[in-house]
Amino acid sequence: MKPGQIRDLSIEEVEHRLSEIDEELLNLNLRKRLQKLDNPLRLRVLRRDRARLKTILNEHKVGIRKLSASTRLLDSENPESDVKE
């Protein structure tokens, strides 16, 4: 998943994707201990995606860079900003 794709998601979607990746990583690590994996590269891809998700989520929480979807939500909740005087 590319950073631009992640930034287009809402906070809830990022957190949901993070939990899905954590679960998949756990399952793959367990299977790795018991048998040879069909695609061991998948572990690396998931670890890197997890790091990207956590980094972008932290950037949003700290205020370095906001997620696009949350900005659109804030704009739609505040219709007064669209009114011209």
Structure tokens at 60: 């949003």
Is 85 a member of any domain?
no
User: Does the residue 51 lie in any domain?
Assistant: yes
44 contacts: CB under 8 Å, gap ≥ 6: none
Taking residues 12-21, what's their average pLDDT?
95
Indicate whether 17 belongs to any domain. Answer: yes
Compute the distance between CA of residue 10 and CA of residue 65 in angstroms, rounded to an integer.
13
**Domain total for the chain?**
1
Q: Global pTM?
A: 0.76
CA separation for the pair 83, 85 (Å, rounded): 7
Within-domain flag for 74 = yes
83 pLDDT higher than 70? no
Structural domain including 35 reads: 3-78
Is the confidence at residue 12, as pLDDT, over 70? yes
Quick one: which of 43, 52, 64, 53 has its CA closest to 11?
53
Cα 75 off chain centre by: 21
> Residue 15's pLDDT band (boundaries 50, 70, 90)?
very high
Q: Does 84 reside within a domain?
A: no
pLDDT in tens, 21-79: 999 999 999 999 999 999 999 999 999 999 999 999 999 999 888 888 765 555 555 55
